[in-house]
Chains A and B, each alone.
Chain A
Amino acid sequence: MVEEDLKIEVLFPETANLYGDTHNMVYLKQCLPKAEFIETGLADEPYFVENDVNMIYMGSMKESTQERVIEKLSKYRSRIIELIKKNVVFLMTGNAMEVFEKYIETDDGTQIKALNIFDLYAKRTMMNRYHEMQIGEFKEKLDIVGYKASFSMSYGDNSEGYFMKVVRGRGINDECEFEGIRQNNFFGTYYIGPLLVLNPLFTKYLIKLLGIKGKKLAHEETAIEAYELKLNEFSDPKREG
């Protein structure tokens, strides 16, 4: 694969853009300046429907947007499943992950049907926001640091397909030690914000997964220094999460 041929689709950046999530793609663009980034608005048809893409990204959004996104993407459920099977990279941060679960239960018990691709469901409690800093083991010698801030948690068994094993913090819910979803190259996580900026080693892994080898990241040394400092700090149990 050559960088020029890479097609990365960013879904609904005008509205799925809370908590600094958009900078995952701003940074990836700086790392892969020759790749094509396709930004699809909520009113438009996603590019992946008719074309092949190498990666799809979607970030955190407000709850009302999440419902509109589910409605929008439901039409393309089978195409999404096909792309996951074809090993297309998906990165879904914050509550974007929940779009691919069975349903989202709201405060009053209403179940909002989601894409039902993964056997999990989410529960929203709008008066109960939680926040924490986290470390997760993505694979051996690759820890991911990040933050969670959410009204919702997910339930169900993700032990066979998780994004990370939790080192500090909680998994997809209070009782769970596994964070996020992984199936083939689909990565879903409750981590918010610029995950790829904060985790240069994971970003390198991701770029390799896209078929680009030996690529130096944008501002790599600084990113790694910042990452190591943060990992150190997050590992300190005396620091409140």
Chain B
Amino acid sequence: MKKDFKFYFAQFSSKCVYGLIKFVKLFKKSLNGSHYPGKIALKFDKDFLGKIEKPEKIICVTGTNGKTTTANMIIDALEKNGFEVLNNKLGSNIQAGIACALSTGATITGKTKYDIAVFEVDERSSIKVYPYIEPTIILCTNLFRDSMKRNAHPEFILDIINQGLEGNTTTKFVLNADDLISCQIAPENKNKVYFGMDALLTDTTECHNIVNDFANCPKCGSKLRYNYLKYHHIGNAFCPNCDFESPEAKYLGTNFDFNKMKYSMIETLKDGKKQTEYNLITDSVVNIYNQIATTACLKEFGLSDIEIKKAFDDYKLVESRYKEEDYNGLTIKTMLAKGQNAVACSRVFDYIKTDSGNKAVMLNLDDFYDAKTSSENICWLYDTDYELLNDPSIKQICIAGKRRMDHYMRCLIAGIPKEKITVCEYEEEEPALLNFNKIDKVFVLYDVYTIPMAMKVKEGIKEQVDIILEKLEKNHVKISGNNDKDLTSEETKK
């Protein structure tokens, strides 16, 4: 697309708005207008994305879960190797966010100042983005059920992505061999490589989750079988009645050593296989996938093994979704469990179940906005594996908030004994109801917009620990040799 007056005006306006926002931010740091310049640009020229000059190489990262983490890893790796990377890390991942990044990364006449860009792209924005920017590489982490209000089902999202890629012959796709849904991206395009993860000790051959959106063979309709299955539909599948099977991973993560925090990547080359050892930056399967995806993408981009190793050498995964604190012997873990996203929540529940020790869980998953103005659609609770919380190591589940009776009912249907469940109206009431003598750890779960509430709950837990310790101390003075454990249980029983 050629630049015209409309474009120049749009770029000029976008730049002005960007400058204005920057200026106002000097005084008001909390101002959030991250994609506003992009919105303005698109308002004046709806073909803005097509007309603005773009960096020579563009990597787009998309997928239901893990796209932010993966895009950030790629950006970080490239920067560590000396590249300057245009990105939308601080903005939004929809069309306007990308327009904003391209606009600010270009001169007033729309000439780009960068050679490389890495964009996180919301799946539903595909139609509005890909026809205009034709990325060098598109990396898709996975496709799962997401918000049922907006995203319906993964096949709907897959269709949207594929509509955006119609006629695209230039992009290289880096896809997840273990996710047969996202493997169907751009069916006409043959320029694809796959990444995957070898079997882990925790893998099974049967799906134990409620949601499996790729249960049947797309060729003959038979029930698929698995060589190994990690969760939901993520694994290595084959059809028992025809030749359908998971594609071969060109990049296969294997030999995971969680003591030394190392793993190997087996790369299939034209003339054989090559094995390279890398630092493992995480022990969570979900994030290992993100690391493998990043490595595969960087290899396809042209980075050497040494350069990639360098990127992961001292990489600190920003675990903003997960914080751990030890408070006088009690471990408090605050964890983001993306509400209305059944798969993300099920992963969190699985993590809690398999984590060591005796645990209490504070299930605070209400949608912040729905709780205020509407009534949250709770159907997603029934796509979520609450059954994972029905485990002997989980001693107590506290439920609060507007949808408490719905969560309570869901827990009961999952078979969790009534005696283990505590229900109260407000989240802040939960800490006082904790039965401390049974647990080593408390998990405080929260949704995207409810971090302040989670922090309050966490402080409340600490206060309760202080109260118990104070009482214990007093009693020690009164009666020496008292049994601490028993006393604690008496004091906290309600």
Residues of A within 8 A of B (CB): 14-15, 18-23, 26-27, 30, 41-43, 62-64, 68, 126, 129, 131, 133, 147, 149, 151, 192-194, 197, 218-219, 222-223, 225-226, 229-230, 233-234, 239-241
Contact = CB atoms under 8 A, between A and B. Distances in A.
Given A218-B413, A226-B406, A197 B382 contact: yes
Given A15-B215, A26-B413, 14 more contacts: A18-B148, A19-B382, A42-B216, A43-B216, A62-B156, A64-B155, A149-B148, A149-B379, A194-B379, A197-B413, A219-B409, A223-B409, A226-B405, A233-B375
Interface string B359-385: 000000000000001110111111100
Contacts of A20: 379-383
Contacts of A133: 374-375, 377
Nearest to A129: B152
Contacts of A233: 375
B153 interface: yes
A240 B374 contact: yes
Nearest to A241: B374
Contacts of A241: 374
Interface of B: 145, 148-150, 152-153, 155-156, 159, 210, 212, 215-216, 221-223, 373-375, 377-383, 405-406, 408-409, 412-413
Contacts of A240: 373-374
A207 B377 CA distance: 26
B409 A230 contact: no
Contacts of A68: 221
B377 A149 contact: yes
B221 A42 contact: yes
B21 to A, nearest CB: 30
A20 B381 CA distance: 7
Nearest to B379: A193
B346 to A, nearest CB: 13
Contacts of B150: 129
A14 B149 contact: no
B377 A147 contact: yes
25 contacts: A18-B152, A18-B153, A19-B379, A19-B382, A19-B383, A20-B381, A26-B413, A30-B413, A42-B221, A62-B156, A129-B150, A129-B152, A147-B379, A149-B148, A192-B379, A193-B379, A193-B382, A194-B379, A197-B409, A222-B405, A222-B412, A225-B405, A230-B405, A234-B375, A239-B373
A149 B221 contact: no
A115 to B, nearest CB: 20
B152 A149 contact: yes
B382 A22 contact: yes
A233 B405 CA distance: 13
A1 B289 CA distance: 53
Given A197-B413, A226-B409, A43 B222 contact: yes
A22 B413 CA distance: 12
A172 B176 CA distance: 40
Max chain A C-beta neighbours (<10 A), residue from B153, B212, B377, B408? B377
A21 B381 CA distance: 11
A229 B401 CA distance: 13
Given A149-B149, A219-B413, A226-B405, A43 B383 contact: no
B153 to A, nearest CB: 5
A41 B215 CA distance: 11
Nearest to B380: A20
B223 A226 contact: no
Max chain A C-beta neighbours (<10 A), residue from B150, B374, B409? B409
Nearest to A30: B413
A15 B383 contact: no
B413 A14 contact: no
Contacts of A239: 373-375
Contacts of B405: 222, 225-226, 229-230
Contacts of B413: 23, 26-27, 30, 197, 218-219
Nearest to A14: B215
A102 B152 CA distance: 24
Contacts of A222: 405, 408-409, 412
B382 A14 contact: no
Contacts of B153: 18, 62
A229 B408 CA distance: 13
B152 to A, nearest CB: 6
Nearest to B222: A43
Contacts of B159: 126
A19 B375 contact: no
Max chain A C-beta neighbours (<10 A), residue from B216, B223, B379? B379
Contacts of B408: 222, 226
A149 B152 CA distance: 8
Contact of A22 (B145, B149, B210, B373): B210
Contacts of A14: 212, 215-216, 223
Nearest to A240: B374
A149 to B, nearest CB: 6
Contacts of B149: 129, 131, 149
Nearest to B382: A20
B189 to A, nearest CB: 21
A131 B150 CA distance: 9
A216 to B, nearest CB: 14
Contact of A193 (B212, B223, B378): B378
A39 to B, nearest CB: 12
Contacts of A226: 405-406, 408-409
B62 to A, nearest CB: 19
Nearest to A229: B405
Contacts of B221: 42-43, 68
B406 to A, nearest CB: 6
Contacts of B409: 197, 219, 222-223, 226
A225 B150 CA distance: 29
Nearest to A151: B152
Contacts of A230: 375, 405-406
Nearest to B207: A14
B162 to A, nearest CB: 13
A163 to B, nearest CB: 18
A202 to B, nearest CB: 15
Contacts of B215: 14-15
Contacts of B156: 62-63, 126
Contacts of B379: 19-20, 147, 149, 192-194
A22 B145 CA distance: 15
Contacts of B383: 19-20
A115 B380 CA distance: 30
Nearest to A23: B382
User: Which 9 pairs of residues, A with B, have the shortest CB-CB distance?
Assistant: A20-B382, A193-B379, A226-B405, A23-B382, A20-B379, A240-B374, A219-B412, A14-B215, A147-B377
